[in-house]
Chain A
Amino acid sequence: MMKKAKNKKIDRSGPVIFSSIEPWAGLNQALKLGRSELLDVVRDSNLRGRGGAGFPTGVKWNLAAVANDEEKYIVCNADEGEPGTFKDRVLLSELSRLFLEGMIISAFAIGAKKGFLYLRSEYKAFLPGLNKEFADLRKNNYLGENILGKKGFDFDIEIRLGSGAYVCGEETALIESLEGNRGEPRNRPPFPVNTGFNGHPTVVNNVETFTAVVHVVAKGANWFKKIGTEKSAGSKLLSISGDCAKPGVYEVAYGISINDVLKMVGAKDTKAVQVGGASGICLAKKDFKRKIGFEDLSTGGSVIIFNSKRKMLDVADNFLKFFEEESCGQCTPCREGIPVLIDAVDLIKSGKCDKAYLEDILSLAETMQLASKCGLGQSAPNALVAILENFKDEYKLSKKPREEKLFNV
């Protein structure tokens, strides 16, 4: 039976992840369907990755399944590091059996014999519980050789800890970390589904994606598509925090508007909402009617709420300093560009920034968004650009052109 929610105060309910399900219904159905039909179900369900990038899961699994290699890997990305995201924390501590079931289903689908659970070091406290879960699974033949009697279906999972690097949440940086290297993202193409861990086809999916897929397989693609919107099937776990009465993890169907989210958590006097964490979208009041979904506000789940007392440039500063700390440092636009943006925020706050330099900064932001090697550099300028656009009343540009000596670094 599904484990009781640890935090009894919060009622965990939702259309997919927190809905009830018979134990092992997903895996049993997967074995009944066989690989080919299983892959069809996942593809037809329109399930997309829940970690933030939103790549169609069925397509990813298919590519790995057809890849010509004996050795394949499943990796569960539990390196939840995006500021404001803590939904996987709930899954890891309360629903671990479900996402492990999802990994096993995935292994069956693509023909992998080994999997990794990449757990961020900040969640090391969940390790004993997870280890116990693993031991249980092995004892009962859900992991190991000939799983559930299916001959040749061997699969086991190793837990690997992260070591404090947000960038390792990026799938190729994660694989680099697994290989014992610095967590520096790789050139893509080729993609992990073809060339992943040690050069072998590797499926990297978020914890929530593996959890959702169990429900999808057990209850069918059509059931799943009925939830959410036409372009965004299913639900999303949102981790909501900041200026609101009831912060926490909520499961919502795609298509919910920000206004409704704010109502749900008792947020008052909201000035801005950051959807998708530091690398996400900063919304002003005029955008609160927008909806959560891949066609509008795509997110890994982080929702941070700011009331009218917060200074948005300070928020931008916090986010940029986060990226500066976490940037891997290999590519020029990100490594060198983020400190420039941080200095620019200081300049703007002190009123010494003129219009010409602001345009230079926005041009730099565009270059970072387009030319950085990975998503970290590409999304680092997003919050600042949105804040500068939407909160013009919080800063004033200088009429004097900037002085040369301000620019000795």
Chain B
Amino acid sequence: MAKVCAVKKEVNKDGIKQEVCDETRAGLLPVLQEVQDKKGFISDKDMQEIADRFGIHPVEVYSVVTFYSFITDKKEGKYVIRISNCITNEMAGNKNIIDEFEKTLKIKVGQTTKDGKVTLKMTSCIGMCDEAPAVMVDDKLIGKVTPAKVKEIIKGLK
């Protein structure tokens, strides 16, 4: 099957060594997640180099990248705002939140602002149904969002 990829040995805050990267294809997703984190997307060059490293074909990497919602092959904004479209959010009125985001950022859901700072997306249930309507701003979960809070959130994005 796959060939060796560089096994990273990370030392965490307490000085304990951890193996982070798997040597086989099982290490593919962590590598993709890392690249997505650092660069905001997986480029053509990165996909082919990752494929080479794992001894798999580029189309297999492309296939995995296009399967998962949080990994993209197209560049996204510096901040990614995900609005949950879970039924509880709809019931709590997330339409107002969507409208407010679209109005303030001057883009539609699925688009990125012209300065490349913010991408606005819908996403499935994020596990904040008791604090609906809820959004994710990068890794942060924010519940009980109101149109006023939307303005705050956007202001807070540097």
What residues of A have a CB within 8 angstroms of the CB of B68 in the complex?
162-165, 183
Cβ 8 A contact of A86, one of B12, B87, B128, B136: B128
Binary per-residue interface labels of chain B (10-48) against chain A in the complex, 1 for a CB within 8 Å, 0 otherwise: 001110101100101111111011000000000000000
Contact with B along A110-154 (1 / 0, CB 8 A): 000000000011111101000110010011000000000000000
Minimum C-beta distance from A304 to chain B (A): 6
Contacts A239-B130, A241-B88, A315-B87 given; does A122 touch B26 at CB 8 Å: no
Interface residues on B, range: 35 or more
B30 & A84 in contact (Cβ 8 Å cutoff)? no
Which residue in chain B gives the minimum CB-CB distance to A302?
Answer: B129
> Chain B residues near A306 (CB, 8 Å)?
91
The answer to whether the Cβ of B127 comes within 8 Å of any Cβ in the partner chain is: yes
A-B contact pairs, 18 of them (CB 8 A): A83-B86, A83-B129, A85-B129, A86-B128, A88-B127, A122-B141, A125-B139, A127-B139, A135-B14, A139-B14, A161-B29, A162-B70, A163-B32, A180-B54, A182-B67, A304-B129, A310-B91, A321-B85
**B19: A residues at CB distance < 8 A:** 158
With a cutoff of 8 Å between Cβ atoms, the chain A residues found around residue B14 in the complex are 135, 138-139
Residues 113-158 (chain B) with a chain A CB within 8 angstroms: 123-132, 136, 139-141
Chain B residue numbers with a CB within 8 Å of A239 are 129-130
As a 0/1 sequence over residues 300 to 324 of chain A, the CB contacts with chain B under 8 angstroms (1 = contact) are 0000101000100011001101100
Q: Is the interface of A mostly helix, strand, loop or mixed?
A: mixed
A354 to B27, CA, bound (A): 52
Cβ–Cβ contact B29 & A84, under 8 A: no
Top 6 nearest A-B pairs (CB, nearest first) are A164-B69, A180-B28, A163-B68, A164-B70, A241-B129, A247-B130
* B-contact bits for A235-274, CB 8 A (1 contact / 0 none): 0000111110001110000000000000000000000001
With contact pairs A83-B129, A135-B12, A139-B14 given, residues A325 and B28 touching in the complex (Cβ less than 8 Å):
no
Please indicate the chain A residues that have their CB under 8 angstroms from the CB of B29 in the complex. Answer: 160-161, 163, 177-178, 180
Q: 1/0 per residue A261-290: CB within 8 Å of B?
A: 000000000000010001000000000000
Q: Does B64 contact A (CB under 8 A)?
A: yes
Contact A325 B91 (CB under 8 A): no
Of the residues A121, A139, A177, A304, contact of B87 by C-beta under 8 Å: A304
With a CB–CB cut-off of 8 A, which chain A residues contact B28? 180
Contact B64–A122 (Cβ < 8 Å): no
A191, chain B: closest CB distance, angstroms: 20
Within the complex, what minimum Cβ distance (angstroms) separates A83 from chain B?
4
Partner of B127, one of A123, A183, A326: A123
Q: Interface residues of A toward B: which range?
A: 35 or more
- State the CA gap A154–B91 with chains docked (Å): 48
The answer to whether the Cβ of B71 comes within 8 Å of any Cβ in the partner chain is yes
Of the candidates B26, B63, B124, the one having the most CB atoms from chain A within 10 angstroms of its own CB is B124
B90 CB within 8 Å of chain A: yes
Q: How many Å from the CB of A377 to the closest CB on chain B? A: 16
Q: Residues of A contacting B85 with CB < 8 Å?
A: 318, 321-322
Known: A125-B140, A139-B16. A181 touches B128 (CB 8 A): no
**Nearest chain B CB to A94 CB, angstrom units:** 14
Asked whether A180 lies within 8 Å of B70 as measured between CB atoms, the reply is no
With contacts A138-B14, A179-B26 taken as known, whether A242 is within 8 angstroms of B91 at the C-beta atoms is yes
Give A140 Cβ to nearest chain B Cβ, in Å. 11
Give the shortest distance, in Å, between B97 (CB) and chain A (any CB): 16
- Cβ contacts under 8 Å, B123 to chain A: 122, 164
CA distance A83 to B132 in the complex (A): 12
Q: Which of A165, A178, A240, A242 contacts B26 (CB 8 A)?
A: A178
Measured in the bound complex, the distance between the Cα atoms of B139 and A304 in whole Å is 25
List 11 additional A-B contacts (Cβ < 8 Å) besides A89-B127, A322-B86.
A80-B127, A82-B125, A120-B127, A127-B139, A138-B16, A160-B29, A163-B32, A163-B33, A165-B68, A177-B29, A325-B124
Q: How far is the CA of A124 from the CA of B136 in the complex (A)?
A: 11
Using known A-B contacts A160-B29, A163-B71, A182-B63, determine if residue A83 contacts B125 with beta carbons closer than 8 Å: yes
Please tell me if the beta carbons of B30 and A243 are within 8 angstroms of each other in the complex: no
Taken together as a complex, chains A and B put the C-alpha atoms of A49 and B133 apart, in Å, by 30
- For residue B128, which residues in chain A have a CB less than 8 angstroms away from its CB? 86, 89
| B67 near A135: Cβ-Cβ < 8 Å | no
Distance between Cα atoms of A241 and B28 in the complex (Å): 36
